[in-house]
Structure 1
Amino acid sequence: MALVAFLATLVSLPVLGAETRHTIMLGGNKAGLQVTNVAADGAREVSYEFTDRGRGPKISARIKVNEAGLPVAVQASGNDYLKVPVKETFTLEQGVARWKNDAESGEKKLTAPAFYVSLHSVPEEGALLANALLKADGQKLALLPEGQATLQRGDEVTLKSASGTRRVTSYEISGLGFAPETIWLDQNGAFFAAVSNWSSFILEGWESSVPELMELQGKRSSARTQESARALTRTPKGPLAIVNANLFDSQTGKSIPGSTVLIEGNRIKAVGLDGKVAIPAGAERIDARGRALLPGLADMHVHLSEHEGVQHLAAGVTMVRDMANDPDALLGFKRRFDAGEEVGPRIFMSGIMEGPGPFAGPTKVLVDNEAKAREAVDNYAKQGYQGVKIYSSVKPELVPVIARLAHEKGLHVGGHVPAYMTARQFIEAGAEEIQHINFVFLNFFFDEVQDTRTPARFTTVAQRASQLDLNSAEVRSFVQLMKDKHVVLDPTVTVFNTMMTRQPGTVGPGYAPIAGRLPPQIRRSLLSGGLPIPKGSEQQYQDSADALLRMIKLLYDSGITLVAGTDDLAGFTLHRELELYVQAGISAPETLRIATLNAAKVLERDADLGTIAPGKFADMILVDGDPARRISDIRNTDLVVKDGKVYEVDALYRSIGVLPR
């Protein structure tokens, strides 16, 4: 406590005219900068900008805090990640807090100290919150507009670099998301860093310290997740029988009421009608009470981050395909999930391959010739990856080379259609899968969008998709090519539906059913809008969102294999993805097949996964309702069995601050 009191005398002491610069890193590459200056009145003036494949925020903020470290005046303007203009203000005067931004406006008479969290925040605000919590009684503060934050001290370490030595301390802030967020302050309480495997913010000149800070955070996170895994995971002591279940057969698409499934260890021993399966004496029984029993779901397009394993499993997702990640971080997730040290799904891996340049994605795996491509493919194959993901800056002439090298190693080939290449050319060069439905449409808009690395890959589709004649010879020819080449589509249509239809200040239909259960600051983030929609174009964008669904139905009817992926909020988004397939006109049973057996077949693991059948892995979910009749019932998962271990969904959600149904 003495140290906390001492720090409280040091933190947030602004120095007039002082400037600090923090490097913003994505995937280990420098992507932008935060510059903070101290004005004459002590306010912090912050300029924050980074570029991520043509996207990225640019925000200028002015933040003034009082002696308790609480914001009393905030002004911010600029644009958000999708380049939508933003403006935000907050004031605290005579005990009354008032705030306004593009999604919210509110007023509250305060009866206790509270910290306003900007909807369009800059990294510096995390340090201000940490400082305010250090000064607060019990290191606890109410948040505005809602919520509560608490602070726990972490590690202290002396770092060394070309810039000298620096003593820094980590603090874990709970109440902002699904898990504690770590921020590093220096010996004077100033913002030093916030790091993760995906994005990092660190004092300029200290970029080389990111791995060391990540390792320290990882040790603390590992201790927490192991403790959580022990509390949340139940391993049956002997055989487990699930009886009186409405079993969904993903092979036939039929539901079989009155079914029994017998599990021994991590495998399914027997499946049959109630009374027809011999259940060993002493076996544990779970009475499904007529609820639906389905194979575990698969999300075929994720980018795993810390603490997302629980989100996936709670949503009934027992296997995921990671489509681009830091290899060390991803292999770490896989090892811990497989060992039961952390709760999470089975992981299959597709390694990103990108070309160098100003639009390069957040990865260090950059290839621009055959030798580098061979090295990358060989490394992915050696590490147990199932595929490679070609990204947007890869030179078109290198695509057939990568495809050949990958196929020689038995790796699946998919990805984004690179710049200056059509989807047709991508397939003809050897791609077996296309990620994202927008690239299918861009095949027909090559006259306008040849460089697919800019936001035009979103906006042009939003403006033109509804005008594309799906019965045209050009479209039919392309669909036939996909069929002839057995090309798989991973639509991630929820992402685009949200971009094209969500208006600021409202929670879209995809998340409305669960928004009230989410932690306050996560729920609040859902109020931000999608693409910048020109005034008067709202219906046009909605019509284009509808056109994406019509294309998905056309592809399905034409025999194209679909797999369900999200590339968005872990777990919850897959439910919406499946709802949209049904909205497109695909039946609920066929949609469930897409999310189970199709995934297993594309991963070439259908001998072990994708159906509930003897000999297969015991991966299944118990759902209150019948999603084979009403797809939205998939949101009502009660119980998850993964690798023979049992998880109560309510307990999983409570562990990450999500209210039970």
Structure 2
Amino acid sequence: MKKTVIILAALLLQLNAQAGEVKALVGGMLIDGFKDQPIQNSVVIIEGERITAVGEMGKLAIPEGAEVISTEGMTVMPGLWDMHVHLQINGHADYTHWHSTYPPRFKDEIMPASAHQLLMAGVTSARDLGAPLDDIIHVRDAINRGDIPGPTMYVSGPFIQKRPYPGTDLYRWGIDGARDARAKVKKLADGGVDVIKLIDQDQMTEAELLAVVDEAHKHGLPVVAHAHRPKEILLGLKAGVDNFEHTGLSTAPEYPPEVVAGLKERAAQMNIGPLFWTPTVEGLFNYDYVKNNTEKLDNDSWHLGLSEDIIKDIRASIAHPERLPYFQITSKRKPTLKRKIHQLLDAGVVLMVGTDSGIPLKFHSQSTWNELDIWVREMGISPMEAIRGATYWPSVMMKVDDQVGTITAGKYADIIAVKGDVLRYINLLQRVDMVFKHGQRVK
């Protein structure tokens, strides 16, 4: 009986290979997401959606009939994650105009275009933190069914905050009391979100804040919160927030001692897991460069999937990047970023790559590699640790590390390949040559 099973399994493998379902990526330098050193002359076997074996040339046999794909001279690594994107926007500089003009086109054009651009940039998983509920659920599910191309999406739907800013009710929900806070979180959970996004928690009552976090955790949903002000951070820590976003405190030179002490205390509680932080520094750090080197904005990769009228509108809105009110204080914030990043690292938090992609001047086709570049080139984070912040740690935070995040037998084959050595030149990630999502070669 056992021999029969083995023979049948071998026949099935051969049939799959003949059908083009078995692929072998051969010859590249492999960053698997676990090891501190890459594997040279690697072999990765993919069968259907999943990785079945990982090894080295001469040590791991390639199944007969497999499609052999050469990765000689390339870095092979897990598909990237971007832990802070907004599919509903795409670089336009006037939010009031955008959100009064384009909501009818979010679901069928703008969000799918943003998702496709991310995927072509090597982002195979992403987290959308702020969008109309029905639209973002529709797009996430369409991607998961294979109807449209894009990363595997994890979504929050609308923000939860005390009072929505004028004209933002479509993607921001206000709360009035602890009972209402629980009701709004339950509505999001029932709507199918993967995470709860919380902002301006220092404007809530303590009862409201605790209700948001507690209700989210009851539904098995992590809570992501802004970290723009010390009180936001301290209250978020008290309530049990799982992941903070942005490198805030405006132009303050560093996080104050009470914040650092709170972070250290929470990071030391390993029994409840790491404290995660998504600093989103590149948009701030690179603004001065972008406003003085506008050729970067002419890269047409961000046109993918968008109609000509939208492309024209975005172009007009960023014609004078130096004049944008959104960024006028940014040059004063830039010198504070490295100090704050290293305070976070010294406190023991786990940093993850996220970009706020879609905000003014930030295109989905470019954001993620730029964030990694600034982490390595300016913030002094090692290339390997930066890559883990865009692969392994996001999968842990979203509790899917048994399925993705590393190149490991049994996991989904979310893999990218790039010509050259990204551990030496991280900016090579701006030109991802191959993208595999769930085993399917999409680029």
Out of 462, 468, 488, the position equivalent to 2:276 is 488
Could you tell me how far 1:556 is from its partner in structure 2? 2.1
Quote the RMSD (CA, aligned, Å): 2.9
1:255, 1:628 within 8 Å by CA — same for their partners in 2? no
Could you tell me how far 1:581 is from its partner in structure 2? 0.8
- Provide the C-alpha distance between the structure 1 equivalents of 2:301 and 2:193, rounded to a whole number of angstroms: 36
2:414, 2:439 within 8 Å by CA — same for their partners in 1? yes
> Measured at CA, do residues 391 and 549 of structure 1 come closer, stay the same or move farther in structure 2, by a change above 3 Å?
same
> Measured at CA, do residues 355 and 287 of structure 1 come closer, stay the same or move farther in structure 2, by a change above 3 Å?
same
Out of 387, 391, 402, the position equivalent to 1:596 is 391
Could you tell me how far 1:436 is from its partner in structure 2? 1.2
1:270, 1:614 within 8 Å by CA — same for their partners in 2? yes
Residue equivalent to 1:324: 130
Provide Cα deviations, 1:328-374, integer angstroms capped at 9, x if missing partner: 11121122111211111101122422333555744263321233222
- Structure 1 residue 437 corresponds to structure 2 residue 220: no
Provide Cα deviations, 1:467-507, integer angstroms capped at 9, x if missing partner: x4x6x7446424424524643111111232345x3575633
2:194, 2:221 within 8 Å by CA — same for their partners in 1? yes
The TM-score with structure 1 as length reference comes to 0.53
Residue equivalent to 1:552: 341
> Measured at CA, do residues 531 and 607 of structure 1 come closer, stay the same or move farther in structure 2, by a change above 3 Å?
farther
- Structure 1 residue 563 corresponds to structure 2 residue 371: no
- Provide the C-alpha distance between the structure 1 equivalents of 2:123 and 2:145, rounded to a whole number of angstroms: 18
Provide Cα deviations, 1:428-467, integer angstroms capped at 9, x if missing partner: 12222211111xx2xxxxxxxxxxxxxxxxxxx2xx334x
Provide Cα deviations, 1:617-636, integer angstroms capped at 9, x if missing partner: 01000111111221111112
Out of 382, 385, 397, the position equivalent to 2:193 is 385
Could you tell me how far 1:402 is from its partner in structure 2? 0.8
Out of 455, 459, 477, the position equivalent to 2:261 is 477
- Structure 1 residue 395 corresponds to structure 2 residue 210: no
2:80, 2:122 within 8 Å by CA — same for their partners in 1? yes
The TM-score with structure 2 as length reference comes to 0.78
Provide Cα deviations, 1:38-91, integer angstroms capped at 9, x if missing partner: xxxxxxxxxxxxxxxxxxxxxxxxxxxxxxxxxxxxxxxxxxxxxxxxxxxxxx
Which letter does structure 1 place at the counterpart of 2:320? S
Which letter does structure 2 place at the counterpart of 1:356? R
What residue ranges of structure 2 are gaps of 5+ in the alignment?
1-17, 88-110, 304-310, 358-362
Normalized per residue, which structure has more helix? 2
> Measured at CA, do residues 432 and 238 of structure 1 come closer, stay the same or move farther in structure 2, by a change above 3 Å?
closer
Which letter does structure 2 place at the counterpart of 1:491? P
- Provide the C-alpha distance between the structure 1 equivalents of 2:301 and 2:155, rounded to a whole number of angstroms: 31
Could you tell me how far 1:543 is from its partner in structure 2? 5.8
- Provide the C-alpha distance between the structure 1 equivalents of 2:33 and 2:336, rounded to a whole number of angstroms: 28
Residue equivalent to 1:576: 370
- Provide the C-alpha distance between the structure 2 equivalents of 1:584 and 1:632, rounded to a whole number of angstroms: 14
Residue equivalent to 2:163: 356
What SS class does the counterpart of residue 442 from structure 2 fall into? strand
Normalized per residue, which structure has more strand? 1
Which letter does structure 1 place at the counterpart of 2:163? P
1:250, 1:597 within 8 Å by CA — same for their partners in 2? yes
Residue equivalent to 1:302: 85
- Provide the C-alpha distance between the structure 1 equivalents of 2:78 and 2:123, rounded to a whole number of angstroms: 9
- Provide the C-alpha distance between the structure 1 equivalents of 2:317 and 2:245, rounded to a whole number of angstroms: 26
What residue ranges of structure 1 are gaps of 5+ in the alignment?
1-234, 442-460, 649-661
Residue equivalent to 1:465: 252
TM alignment of 1:398-417, pairs within 5 A? 398-416=208-226
1:264, 1:644 within 8 Å by CA — same for their partners in 2? yes
> Measured at CA, do residues 504 and 349 of structure 1 come closer, stay the same or move farther in structure 2, by a change above 3 Å?
closer
Could you tell me how far 1:420 is from its partner in structure 2? 9.9
- Provide the C-alpha distance between the structure 2 equivalents of 1:541 and 1:328, rounded to a whole number of angstroms: 34
Could you tell me how far 1:260 is from its partner in structure 2? 0.4
- Structure 1 residue 620 corresponds to structure 2 residue 423: no
Out of 274, 293, 301, the position equivalent to 1:506 is 293
Residue equivalent to 2:92: none
Residue equivalent to 2:41: 258
2:284, 2:330 within 8 Å by CA — same for their partners in 1? no
- Provide the C-alpha distance between the structure 2 equivalents of 1:475 and 1:372, rounded to a whole number of angstroms: 29
The structure number with the bigger radius of gyration is 1
Which letter does structure 2 place at the counterpart of 1:492? T
Tell me the number of residue pairs that the alignment of Structure 1 and Structure 2 aligns: 380
Residue equivalent to 1:122: none
Provide Cα deviations, 1:486-535, integer angstroms capped at 9, x if missing partner: 43111111232345x35756338xx47x83766585667655325769xx
What SS class does the counterpart of residue 553 from structure 1 fall into? helix
Identity %: 30
- Provide the C-alpha distance between the structure 2 equivalents of 1:525 and 1:257, rounded to a whole number of angstroms: 46
> Measured at CA, do residues 634 and 505 of structure 1 come closer, stay the same or move farther in structure 2, by a change above 3 Å?
closer
- Structure 1 residue 586 corresponds to structure 2 residue 381: yes
Provide Cα deviations, 1:570-623, integer angstroms capped at 9, x if missing partner: 131111111111120101111001000010010011111110000000100011
Which letter does structure 1 place at the counterpart of 2:267? K
Provide Cα deviations, 1:522-556, integer angstroms capped at 9, x if missing partner: 667655325769xxxx9x96463132122113312
- Provide the C-alpha distance between the structure 2 equivalents of 1:419 and 1:588, rounded to a whole number of angstroms: 29
- Provide the C-alpha distance between the structure 2 equivalents of 1:480 and 1:419, rounded to a whole number of angstroms: 17
1:250, 1:593 within 8 Å by CA — same for their partners in 2? yes
> Measured at CA, do residues 360 and 251 of structure 1 come closer, stay the same or move farther in structure 2, by a change above 3 Å?
farther
Which letter does structure 2 place at the counterpart of 1:575? W
